């Protein structure tokens, strides 16, 4: 009888230990999962090694691992990464405080800046840009895009735009009719025939607007 009681007690202890161990494992797994999720939420993917290296050189990152800590870039207002061999600007949308972006003389073909709503100045000359998206940047004042291969650029929502340079591109047309404070505009060396303007602009073309002789200003470029 004593043997039966002893066995029963041993079995109870074993089951109790098993449950405790399982609870510990589950708790550990939950903590690991939460830590991993938090880490991911606080990291920004930077797939272009040249872009990340430029951030490292500026002390905004410390390790070339395809990511940057979100809190290291949240307050950056000026980012100057010219001539760094960058081909992909993925991750730039997370630079929420950015006001000035200079990416001159890289190898970029496309740039999307729609989420960088605080931008005032963009300098992207000397790339191989086929597309740049600045839609909705209502505070943008200056946009430099000389020496690219752009066929079109939409600046219709950039109501505060004061300077726009588009020389040496492949523009077939350009609409600046909504850019009522545009005082500096250069668009030479493009296969351009017509520049769409509004009536006030047409009646008083600013002195710092420069175009090819073959291009004309019009209220209707169709």
Q: Are residues 33 and 56 in the same domain?
A: no
Q: Is residue 27 domain-shared with residue 133, that is, in the same domain?
A: no
CATH number at 156 reads 3.80.10.10
- Residues 135, 37 share a domain: no
Task: Answer yes or no: do 140 and 197 share one domain.
Answer: yes
**Residue 156 phi, psi dihedral angles, 5° rounding:** -65, -25
pLDDT digits (tens, 9 = 90+) for 26-62: 333 333 333 333 236 799 999 999 999 999 999 999 9
Q: Does 158 lie in the same domain as 86?
A: yes
Output the CA torsion 119→121→122→125 (10° steps): 180
| Backbone φ and ψ of 54, nearest 5° | -65, -40
Same domain, residue pair 52 and 152:
yes
Task: Write out pLDDT tens, residues 81-94.
Answer: 999 999 999 999 99
Tally of domains within the chain: 2
User: Do residues 111 and 129 make contact, with C-beta atoms less than 8 angstroms apart?
Assistant: yes
Domain coverage including residue 211: 44-218
Taking the whole predicted model, whether its pTM rises above 0.85 is answered as no
Same domain, 167 and 67: yes
103 and 16 inside one domain: no
Phi, psi of 77 (to 5 degrees): -100, -25
pLDDT (average), residues 193-198: 96
Averaged confidence pLDDT in the chain = 87
Q: How many Å is the maximal CA-CA distance in the chain?
A: 112
Q: Does position 70 have pLDDT exceeding 50, yes or no?
A: yes
- 49 and 37 in one domain? no
Question: Are 36 and 122 members of one domain?
Answer: no
Same domain, 31 and 93: no
**Cα gap 24→9, rounded to integer Å:** 23
The confidence band for 2, taking pLDDT boundaries of 50, 70 and 90, is very low
pLDDT higher than threshold 60 for residue 9: no
201 lies in the same domain as 107: yes
Number of H helices, E strands in the chain: 4, 14
Q: Where do the H-state alpha helices sit in the chain?
A: 2-41, 49-57, 70-73, 199-203
């Amino acid at each position: 009888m004593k043997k039966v009681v002893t066995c029963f007690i041993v079995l109870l202890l074993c089951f109790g230990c098993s449950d405790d161990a399982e609870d510990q494992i589950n708790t550990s797994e939950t903590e690991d999962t939460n830590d991993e999720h938090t880490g991911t939420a606080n990291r920004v993917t930077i797939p272009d090694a040249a872009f990340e290296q430029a951030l490292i050189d500026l002390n905004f990152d410390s390790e070339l691992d395809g990511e940057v800590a979100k809190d290291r870039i949240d307050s950056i207002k000026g980012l100057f990464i010219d001539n760094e061999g960058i081909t992909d600007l993925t991750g730039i949308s997370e630079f929420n405080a950015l006001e000035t972006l200079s990416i001159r003389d890289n190898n970029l073909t496309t740039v999307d800046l729609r989420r960088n709503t605080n931008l005032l100045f963009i300098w992207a000359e000397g790339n191989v840009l086929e597309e740049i998206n600045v839609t909705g940047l209502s505070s943008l004042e200056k946009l430099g895009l000389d020496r690219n291969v752009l066929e079109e650029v939409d600046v219709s929502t950039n109501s505060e735009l004061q300077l726009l340079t588009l020389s040496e591109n492949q523009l077939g047309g350009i609409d600046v009719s909504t850019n009522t404070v545009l005082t500096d505009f250069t668009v030479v060396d493009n296969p351009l025939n017509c520049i769409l303007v509004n009536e006030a602009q047409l009646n008083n073309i600013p002195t710092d607007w420069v175009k090819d002789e073959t291009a004309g200003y019009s209220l209707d470029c169709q």
